[in-house]
Amino acid sequence: MIYLKTDEEIELLRVSNRLVGKTLAQVAEMIEPGVKTIDLDKRAEEFIRSHDAVPAFLGYSGFPYSLCISVNDVVVHGFPSDYELNEGDIVSVDCGVYKNGYHGDSAYTFAVGEVSDEKKQLMKTTKESLYKGIEAAVPGKRVGDIGHAVQTYCEDRGYSVVRDLVGHGIGRDLHEEPQVPNFGRRGRGKKLQDGLVIAIEPMINAGVKDVVMWEDGWSIATKDSKPSAHYEHTIAVRKGKADILSTFDYVEEVLKKKGNFIN
């Protein structure tokens, strides 16, 4: 069942998603070589709770942390741990909050110190592909148009698109219908309607598209151990163009101050 959102619901979703953006900015402040990823998780949980919200991921289907923190070849769903970030790592941080009855969900991939040109280009292409997908999210088009836009942009540049994981609808529940793959054919899939709120989240690999699950039962990594990047926005389908409910503005303001922004 697909639930279209009212204008009032979209504004509540915007509040939740902007809080996610502010939480990711707290994480951005901390990301440096030598920082333990578990400390990023602790900061995020404290910040979310201080804003009368709860971490949406904590306890979701048994997930034991507030953030998904995925380093280098880990695509998504990585566990925060005592791992200390190293110069040259890239780290995807996926955050969800639940506030006023509605969810927010967004992700950003960070460079730790100075990273290789290979990783910079992967990050740049993945983020650009997110906006290509968002451009296709207008009434009358279909879910396949979003996936096609992401897929062609990345594959034309030599990258591969993970097939095993997809974006999703979002609202009162963290994951709602429809599924939103990052690959597909134009004109296929569910029709996009005004008021549909979805999370678009390209997961793009430098090498092969194939992934493996770690023994923890959550972490998904690239089969060839090459790096992966992940960016996510929650958007509302609206007449004219999509309304991006989440934001990278807070994160990128921090990164620019630190001199670590990759455009």
pLDDT digits (tens, 9 = 90+) for 101-123: 999 999 999 999 999 999 999 99
- What does the pLDDT read at residue 248? 98
pTM (two decimals): 0.97
User: What percent of the chain has pLDDT above 90?
Assistant: 99
Domain definitions of the chain by residue range: 7-258
Q: Tell me, which fold does domain 7-258 have in CATH?
A: Creatine Amidinohydrolase (3.90.230)
**For 190-220, what is each residue's pLDDT tens digit?**
999 999 999 999 999 999 999 999 999 999 9
Give the closest residue to 31 by CA, choosing from 118, 115, 128: 115
- What is the structure's pLDDT at 4? 98
Give the pairing of strands 220-222 and 102-111: unpaired
Q: What is the pLDDT of residue 8?
A: 98
pLDDT in tens, 84-93: 999 999 999 9
Helix (H) or strand (E) holding 229: strand 228-230
> 92 near 76, Cβ under 8 Å?
yes
pLDDT digits (tens, 9 = 90+) for 221-246: 999 999 999 999 999 999 999 999 99
Convert the pLDDT of each residue in 25-56 to its tens digit: 999 999 999 999 999 999 999 999 999 999 99
* pLDDT attached to residue 263: 81
DSSP state string for 177-218: EEEE-S---TT-SSBP-TT-EEEE--EEESS-S-EEE-TTSS
